[in-house]
A and B are shown apart, each in its own frame.
Chain A
Amino acid sequence: MSVFVDQQTRLVVQGITGRDGSFHTRQMIGYGTKVVAGVTPGKGGQLFDGVVPVFDTVADAVRETRANTSVIYVPAAVAVSAIFEAADSGILLIVCITEGIPVLDMTRVLPYLHERGARLIGPNCPGLISPGKSKVGIIPGNICLPGRVGVVSRSGTLTYEIVHQLSTQGLGQSTCVGIGGDPLIGTNFIHCLSAFQADPETDAVVMIGEIGGTDEQQAADFVKQAVTKPVIGFIAGQTAPPGRRMGHAGAIISGSSGTAAEKMAALARAGIAVMKRPADVVPLLKDRL
């Protein structure tokens, strides 16, 4: 087991012939991910690197290759359209790496996904990896190690740092999920914590949050109610200046300033062991495993 991706993952790459798409497709194939198709409108019929068939549309790719997961590397201006297309083609797991998608576009695409039962990871995320099984996105495979710790994070390179600490000290991972740092995302901490709780091959969870919003506080409440496995937490931004305030509405809607101190306190109240720095992750986990 593991969560969201494994050996059953049959991946279609949207934007496979682009600069980022082609580079990371090679990395994913090299890692062992089953990349069954690519999509670039106008390049249907070509073979990427002589092995991966390219299609004009996601619908064609799904029909011909039974792809069940998509990863999106297209530019921000067309990324929302790519998400709509994937969902419309029956893809049930869509991973959007692209950053720079307007939040108001996300308000329209999220209900569309929900109606079709599709899960989106991201946007503006590094994707996910189940070490030794499948990697979808851009997380460097060589820093990961197969094992039994689940990792969920809003950040990219900070996730690499913490995964690196785990791997170099012998603690492997079941799945590492980068959920993305945008205000509106398809998969949040709670979705991942719930999946890790249900996964028999995950023994503990590391959650990496940051300042802004109240997702971490809600996740803490969920941990208290529904997670029996040990959870270790980190919040980045303890020294960040009080953000540029968004008028009055931001404070009114959340009733919270979203500071690191507030989030760390919420995690601690829920029984989550809170790291002061990334290097604390291994000692805290070893205490609890």
Chain B
Amino acid sequence: MNLHEYQARDILRRYGIPVPPGEVATTTDEARAIAARLGGGPVVVKAQVHAGGRGKAGGVKLAANADEAAAHAAKILGMTIKGLTVRRVLVAPAADIATESYVGIIVDRTSQRPVVMVSAAGGIDIEEVAARTPEKIHRLAVDPRYGLLAHQALGLALKLYRDIAQARTAADVMQRLYTAFYAVGASLAEINPLVATRDGAVAALDAKIVIDDNELERRPDIAALRDPSGDAPSEVAAREAGLTFIKLDGTVGCCVNGAGLAMATMDLVKYYGGAPANFLDIGGSSNPQKVVSALRIITADPSVRAILFNIFGGITRGDDVANGIVQATRAFPLKVPLVIRLTGTNEELGVQILTQAGFSALTDMDEAVKQAVARANAA
């Protein structure tokens, strides 16, 4: 789950990391009032959406005073960035920046440890820096049993600042970020940029935190930060139904059990000349209601010309899937052809249920995909 910049800043502040003031506005009046409260001087107005490249899209603007802040907020609120409507802006004082550094923590799959990465070349081009001049990125795999030790943090901080006072502050920021990383259940915590201002202060100007979805159940305070307006409505509906769904551009609606098989099914649709309309994994458990929800979500997409079920029963039982299909098609008749591949656990029972309801089922994946693509392309 992605957090907004303002939510990430709140977390950093809670863990004692210096973050410049700033508040969130949902209206132009609020934006003006915040800018006035910040002293009426120059402020930056920043769109709060789950999309990169906000600045390039016109979602980040500098304002000289409170009225200008309101004018910028009026333009940014309601604008669309990468398909997402901006509903909130962060208003923060414009910083007098001397240097921009990067500090990030992520769990590294290879070392199986949290890795702290820092660079003195922070800012929006950090990925380019990493690709072109990897020597400018310094990294340290942390032993999670002991955490980020003081001398390790200082060693990294000295790669960012020559001034020992600034380095000590940056080292403290890193240790606090590491603590926050575990405390909130993050899979990524990033300060970019960590700035030094012209008067020598070090502060976190922008932050990004991604929470591991598996942490949400035991951290209701963090789960409450979810902003559903940042997701497509069909994806929200799927999440609530316990399904994993990603909308794509094609015409073959796919309903599959298991993420790997779902991806392989989409690949096979493409292989036979079709285009998948979605990724949909009904998951490992067996429950007719999930199938009903899945069909409801797939059929709501007007670009779907044919629906393909690919079920290889393990934990998922063929009869549960068949019952779900029958229930769904009784509740809302389908307007597009349905091709079903059903094999594995309780296959015979499932096929029997489908046959009685007037459907036919195939056992071969390639044959089912070919038929679905042909039906979609003919429609």
Contacts and interface: CB of A to CB of B under 8 A. Distances in A.
A249 interface: yes
B108 A156 contact: no
B172 interface: no
Interface in B306-329: 312-316
B259 A155 contact: yes
A238 B109 contact: no
Contacts of B144: 104, 107-108, 111
B251 interface: no
Which residue among B109, B110, B127 has the maximum number of chain A CB atoms within 10 Å of its CB?
B109
Contacts of B188: 246-247, 249-250
A32 interface: no
A106 B266 CA distance: 31
A43 to B, nearest CB: 23
Contacts of A104: 107, 114, 144, 181-182, 185-186, 212, 215
Interface residues on A, range: 35 or more
Contact of B264 (A76, A252, A253, A278): A278
B258 A255 contact: no
A149 to B, nearest CB: 19
Contact of A248 (B104, B113, B115): B104
B182 A237 contact: no
Contacts of B315: 20, 138
Contact of A184 (B112, B139, B366): B112
Interface string B186-213: 1110101000000000000000101010
B220 interface: no
Contacts of B106: 246, 249-250, 253
Interface residues of B, number: 69
B143 interface: yes
A252 B345 contact: no
A210 B143 contact: no
Interface in B278-300: 279, 284
A248 B130 CA distance: 10
Interface in A152-188: 153-161, 164, 181, 183-184
A240 B266 contact: yes
B260 A153 contact: yes
B264 A102 contact: no
A184 B107 contact: yes
B29 to A, nearest CB: 32
Contacts of B343: 164
Given A156-B314, A253-B106, 18 more contacts: A102-B185, A104-B185, A111-B144, A155-B258, A157-B261, A158-B261, A161-B312, A184-B112, A215-B109, A236-B260, A237-B263, A238-B263, A246-B106, A247-B210, A249-B104, A276-B271, A277-B267, A277-B271
